Chains A and B, each alone.
Chain A
């Protein structure tokens, strides 16, 4: 399947059409909160409920997902392999998607869900993303260079919102 330009909205709509429970994290979450740093992929934390994983597998199949680390073969993501906190780095017809069983200090879907906000993409098309405080916390916990680089702008956004 030929790769198209990164299209976040197409990915979200296919996940929602398949009734997948997920939380948008990472660079897209930062952009939703006001970061102007371009991002080339979409990170989600999936609910690891078995029924949800089956729905996720179907959505990923519709997206034409495959593991992007394996350049010599096309491995397709399967529900039974997404039951842990592991990270599945995928490419899809609409751009890279990372399916993350847990982030930062092993924070998984049930742990993160109370710290999310709802975003309305369009009428009756809604998804959840981390609230700003939790996004900052996970970036601090992860401690990778790329996460640390994003922290100053997230902290300034938080200050700017508090100043209003």
Chain B
């Protein structure tokens, strides 16, 4: 394609605003994919830097340095509480009948005081109880003290433990899109997820294109038994739903980027084989091929240098559409839990992780990756459509 043809092609492509917009969006995602390690605020794959205290934070919250935690256990005998071991400044003393006050003498106010394993019937004033465990928590206790009270007199002897937590210190890092269940920054996870999805899409669709087109051309050239064999294999592959083939392969081989790519290639090569064979068959009857044969050029050269370039436009359109298909297949497999490793989430797995939290109103975990995936696939499909329109001679005015 020379410069003039390229300019004309670009001009015709540019006639559609949707085409241009979809190209712009696709390029943006490509840039995100390439530059993810540079532009994302954190490295979501570095397990050693994740802290559970950052888990499930809503959009716009700050990363924190966990506050300090003091644990102490007390034994009560005859109404007198005695600390067992180092009490870290925590003290417990009686405050009347069936009442015991736990206090931390410190300037800084506590974030929470939790009292554990109280005897039956006892409770903590103003505390919320854990739904299952006998744990009573008071958030921001006034004067750093809480009262253990009971309707009936407290038993003569019992043990309890106290956990005091000071406030978490916010850092400068902001989670603009919130965090998931492991304290991963969603923005970084999405950027890296785009990177994985685009990588899988391009590599898988590219490999499938090379293998499928090669086999299709080979079948068209040889004809006869070879053609029949390859095309029946294509029919056989097309008779399975893509997701089923993917599930079967990954269930046997285990998860991993390489295996997902293998699954996508196995699903997609047959589209290219079928398309390139039919294109090549019609090209092979044309005069220029006859001329090349007359020159006694070798078969591979006729196919690679003469026939293939004339089939390329349609194959490139198919490639664009198949990248989107590969990304959505990869996301579906990851959503079903068989695609990529849990520690390197792609968009599909991020959505699956967030799906579990939908009922706890933590929508942001699946919201972001879901929108990104949707926009990316729609943009790629529109781009493919537009390329098809531009390259198809029948739409020529």
Same complex for A and B? Answer: no
Q: Which residues of B contact A (CB under 8 A)?
A: none
Q: Which residues of A contact B (CB under 8 A)?
A: none
